[in-house]
Structure 1
Amino acid sequence: MDLLANASTTMPDVASWEFWLGVPFRVLLILVIAGVASAAIRLIIRRITRGIERGTRSRVVRKLDAGKAQWVQDAGLARERQVQRAKTVGSVLASVATLAVWAIALLMVISELGFNIAPVVASAGIAGVALSFGAQSLVKDYIAGIFMVAEDQLGIGDVVDLGEASGSVEEVGLRVTQVRDVQGTLWHVRNGEILRVGNSSQGWARAVLDVPLPYDGDLDAMTARLKDSLEDLKNDPEVGASVMGSPEVLGVESLTGESVTVRVTVKTAPSQQWAVSRAMRVKVKKMLDREGLSVPLLNQTVVRGSAGPYGQAAEAGAPGTAPAEPGSADPRSATTGSQGAPERG
């Protein structure tokens, strides 16, 4: 009988406008606002990712033109890669934002239905504090990864220097960047630990070579011959396509009693400066051989002899040593010139 009585009193309430304008209306309003907020956030994230895609830097890539290798600006490959990365970041941000919006909406709906959500909010707050302490490095890595992707600091295939690790980038993630060095070691670097990025694959590079020349030679003539020998670098079958400019002799870099060091630079394609530097050394060596020049050697003095009680060479006349004969060289010592060669009188 009580059940029938409650049903008889509830049905008129359900049929009244006051009932529908109460809790059901507020619940519906919460759901509508959550849907609109979720859609707006997704639209904002989509516009941000489009801005990231448009901000992609062009890469200089190697292409074959009529069977000949050439280095050209190519924004297509970089843009395609950046679009994929931007979509990845956008999907992650959209998922996190949508989850947060609907979680808040669910708590508000539960509160409108008359349930006490204070214990749930308190538990969530405690869990959030514990999670923030335990996963702060993880959050730091993800935030750093998002900015690295947004700013196009590096990409797959780029040659980079990240401080402790340097080499070619094989994978760029939101948390970890993978770099393989010249010895084949694959480094997993957390994005939050990357304080600086040196990218050798954006735009162009420069091969720098310091050439020591004889001190007593004609500097102007030697410099002219050095530059002439490197002018043919563009015709080199191996690295000629990687040379993007003429060699420049910057001048004297250092000066000693044995040599004059001259610095030579050549503008190259990105990540090709090491190969060009090796070819430059070969041409410099051949030029020196043709001109009869040699790289100056540092003068050295080497003293050989039996060590004394405190690690010093024993002197003539010291106890336990035989005096040297007049007119003969001391067999315990020899003064040498350049790298062990006997000095010339």
Structure 2
Amino acid sequence: MGLVIGARGMMRLLTSIMFVLAVAGAGIAQTANPPSASPTAATASQPPAEVRQMLELMQTPQVKEWMAMQMKATPAAAQAEAGEMSALSELVDHARRHVEMVSDAAIELPGQVESASNIVERDVAPTGWILITTEVIALFLTGAVVELLFRLLVPKPRLRTSDDDVVTVSHHATANLLYRIVPAIVFAMATLVPLLAFSWPPITRSMAIAIAIALIVARFTGALGRLLVALVTLPSGDGERQISRARALFWFRRCALFVIYFAFGWAAIQLMLPLGFSEGARYFVAYILGIGLFAIAVEAVWHRPLDEGEHRSITVSWGLTFYFAVLWILWVSGFNLLLWLGIYAVLLPRALSVATLAVRSLHQAEAGFLAGRRIATALLDRGVRALIIAAAAFWFGRMIGLVADRMAAGQTMIDRLARGAIGGIVILLAADLLWHLARAYINGKLDDSRIEGALTDEERAGRARLQTLLPIFRNILAVVIAVIAVLMVLSGLGVEIGPLIAGAGVVGVAVGFGAQTIVKDVISGMFYLWDDAFRVGEYIESGSHKGVVEAFSLRSVRLRHHRGPLTTVPFGELGAVKNLNRDWTIDKITLNVTYDTDLVKVKKVIKQIGQQLLDNPEYSPHIIETLKMKGVEQFGDFAIVIRLAMMTKPGEQFVIRRNALAMIRTAFKENGIEFAVPTVQVSSEGHEAETRAVLARQLSQRPSSDEPAA
């Protein structure tokens, strides 16, 4: 304290010396330049006509306005440049002035306390101390009494499950939410009743408002804290808790004590404002109360619960203690920027983690109102995260002195950067929320449209199309949202995105020329999907490529051959695509019967076989038109060629065809219908030459060994 007083005396001494030197300098200047009293000298110093004309021009309004603008612009530019060059020195000067202000206030605090007591006496005197004390006691007790009556009239609900088991609200997320929040709302409303009902004196009313706010904050802190404890300790799907109840209760009690202590400390600082305490005195009291916050944080660090088998690290404990001490010193020194950066580094990740755990518990709990609701879960999860981060960003800007109207005006580079940074945070949070909502919706559609659960062919086809297009749309949407968000953030920071977009277009054209094949593949794939040429799970043929479509990417399709190999084919190489699994297929069968066969009988037998196929429960669901005889195809050299046909669902014709051929073989044998085969008759009764000629002719008509047989 002595050092501070000595410094103040030294500054006053220096100021006095500078004042004396300034007065002496003025006197010397007057002595060196005495005023002239001779009228002759005044007459001799009359300016020429040109000078008088120039002076007259300078008196015109236009010239005056222009000179005023120039005088304003030059100091502003010089001041901005000087401010940017001496930012660090300004911070140091600000910290020095802040410490001096608090030190002076500590010396003057007893006098301010006496003055405040006189103000309170004058404010309370017309009403009386007894009435004011009664009203303050009512303000403290009304909320608690009304909440107690509410709990007695509305007991803790107990829910009955389908197994006749009674479940309390601590195991039911929705009821637990209502049971924790509703009494806190009742408490808050009851606390406001004496604040509005009584006729408070002016200064006492301000004090009562601050106390009521602190009481309501403390009550909601307890309610929300116990709700979070109940949520994060709910058993997950495998029956295990995400956090042990003892650990959750430990951190809840410390955090609740910290917040309640902070709330009443804030109320105490607000009480000092109408009592006439100076700004330095309020800071001094706040710093003294901050020692209590420091003690709560240090106690939590040294007594924090450990997991089973974990050992307490003395280094970590001392490191966190030193960290909190540095934060308190930064607070006292007035370095708000570094202070809040340090606070956010500790609190923000923990707050986001707890919010995520709570939302996950609501989603996984069987009785939770978020169970099975993907979009609501994503909205609550990312929405809560967005609110926490946005509130932290705006509070950070407020604490370091970035007022909203100042940022909107954008006078300095720091204001513009701060405005762009906060706007960028909001844009990124909005983009993150939009992306997670879209992804949750698309993933839900993919899970609900699995091909295995389809009941009809139309439903299976629709689900296959969704399984094909939705993943690609999800990837494209992610890229679009990311690009738009980044461009908006850069624009908010003052970066000209027009040249950036133009440059990206030029680069895109150059890349397009250099990667024509890739561009061709991507564009071809878009049109294949647009035309719905094939879907996941369908068998296609294209040139030498064939197989079942397993998956897509932006430039290729993966085909699984029926023998097992997996082929990745770029879209640009597909060309014409033959889809073997679309709508229906017609299978044709050709039979050769002898010339003495009864064709009417053959038709009846084929009709009976077709009916048997329809009566078979294994084949009938896949048959669109059963096996029928279409008639005589042609007369061959040794047989009558007849044509059979049937219409089936794609991919099912092979099994039905095999069974139909087996049934035809059996039915023909039972009905005496013979298949025609080429025969050669050899006779030795004088026709040896003719026989050899016939054999030679038949051998010459057979295909060679290296040609495919007909």
TM-score by length of 1: 0.61
1:209, distance to aligned residue in structure 2 (A): 1.4
Structure index of larger Rg: 2
Helix, strand or coil at the partner of 1:88:
helix
The one of 247, 253, 256 aligned to 2:636:
256
Q: Is the 8 A contact 2:521 2:572 kept in 1?
A: yes
Output the amino acid matched with 2:557: T
Residue equivalent to 2:245: none
Alignment partner of 1:7 is 2:58: no
Conserved? CA contact 1:300–1:337, under 8 Å: no
Matches within 5 A, 1:98-117: 98-102=481-485, 104-105=487-488, 112=494
Match for 2:410: what amino acid? Answer: W
Aligned length, in residue pairs: 291
State how far apart, in whole Å, the 1-side matches of 2:481 and 2:527 are: 21
Deviations 1:311-341 (CA, angstroms, capped at 9, x unpaired): xxxxxxxxxxxxxxxx68359945249978x
Partner of 2:385: none
Q: Which residue of 2 aligns with 1:173?
A: 553
**Equivalent residue number for residue 284 of structure 2:** none
C-alpha separation in 2, matches of 1:275 and 1:339? 36
Distance 2:575 2:522 in 1: 14
What does residue 517 of structure 2 align with?
A: 137
Determine if the alignment matches structure 1 residue 88 to structure 2 residue 471.
yes
The whole-number CA distance in structure 2 between the counterparts of 1:125 and 1:199 is 38
Aligned to 2:574: 194
Separation in structure 2 between the aligned mates of residue 254 and residue 292 of structure 1, nearest angstrom: 22
- The partner residue of 1:277 within 625, 637, 657 is 657
What one-letter code is carried by the residue in structure 2 that aligns with 1:228? Q
Q: CA deviation at 1:276?
A: 1.0
- Cα distance in 1 for residues equivalent to 2:645 and 2:509: 56
**What aligned pairs does 1:222-261 form with structure 2 within 5 A after superposition?**
222-235=602-615, 239=619, 242-261=622-641
**Which residue pairs with 1:183 in the alignment?**
563
Name the TM-score, length of structure 2 as normaliser.
Answer: 0.33
Q: Could you say which structure has the higher strand fraction? A: 1
Q: CA deviation at 1:35?
A: 5.1
SS at match of 1:188: strand
Q: Do the aligned partners of 1:211 and 1:262 also contact (CA within 8 Å) in 2? A: yes
Are 1:141 and 1:190, in contact at CA under 8 Å, matched by a contact in 2?
Answer: yes
Contact kept, 8 Å, 1:212 with 1:261, in 2: the verdict is yes
Q: Which has the higher contact order (CA 8 A, sep 6+)?
A: 1
Q: SS of 1:280's equivalent?
A: helix
2:434 aligned with 1:73: no
Q: Mapping of 1:294-305 within 5 angstroms?
A: 294-298=674-678
Where structure 1 has 5 or more consecutive residues not aligned to the other structure, the ranges are 64-71, 302-326, 341-345
Partner of 1:167: helix, strand, or coil? Answer: strand
Does the Cα contact within 8 Å between 2:427 and 2:488 map onto a contact in 1?
no
RMSD: 5.2
TM-aligned CA distance change 1:226 to 1:333, over 3 Å: same
Q: Which residue does 1:206 correspond to in 2?
A: 586
In the alignment, the residues of structure 2 paired with residue 171 and residue 288 of structure 1 have an alpha-carbon distance, to the nearest angstrom, of 46
Displacement, 1:58? 11
Q: Is the 8 A contact 2:487 2:497 kept in 1?
A: no
**What is the rounded CA distance, in whole Å, between the counterparts of 1:129 and 1:9 in structure 2?**
43
Distance in 2 between the 1:215 and 1:339 partners? 20
Percent of residue pairs bearing the same amino acid type: 21
1:172-204 CA distances to partner (integer Å, 9 max, x unpaired)? 333322222333332222223233333333444
Alignment CA distance shift 1:291-1:339 (3 Å): farther
| Deviation digits for residues 261-320 of structure 1 (CA, Å, limit 9, x no counterpart) | 32222232331101111112212222332333333335789xxxxxxxxxxxxxxxxxxx
Q: Work out the CA distance in 1 between the residues paired with 2:411 and 2:468.
A: 47
Deviations 1:110-132 (A, max 9, x none): 7x56x8996x7786555433311
Report the CA distance shift for 1:268/1:334 in structure 2 as closer, same or farther (over 3 A): same
Partner Cα separation in structure 2 for residue 5 and residue 222 of structure 1: 105
Question: How far apart, CA to CA, are the structure 1 residues paired with 2:589 and 2:687?
Answer: 47
Q: What is the identity, as a one-letter code, of the residue corresponding to 1:329?
A: E
- 2:410 counterpart residue number: 20
Distance apart, 1:84 and its partner CA: 4.5
Instruction: Report if aligned partners of 2:626, 2:646 keep a CA contact under 8 Å in 1.
Output: yes
SS at match of 1:96: helix
Q: Which amino acid aligns with 1:92?
A: N
> Which secondary structure does the structure 2 equivalent of 1:196 belong to?
coil
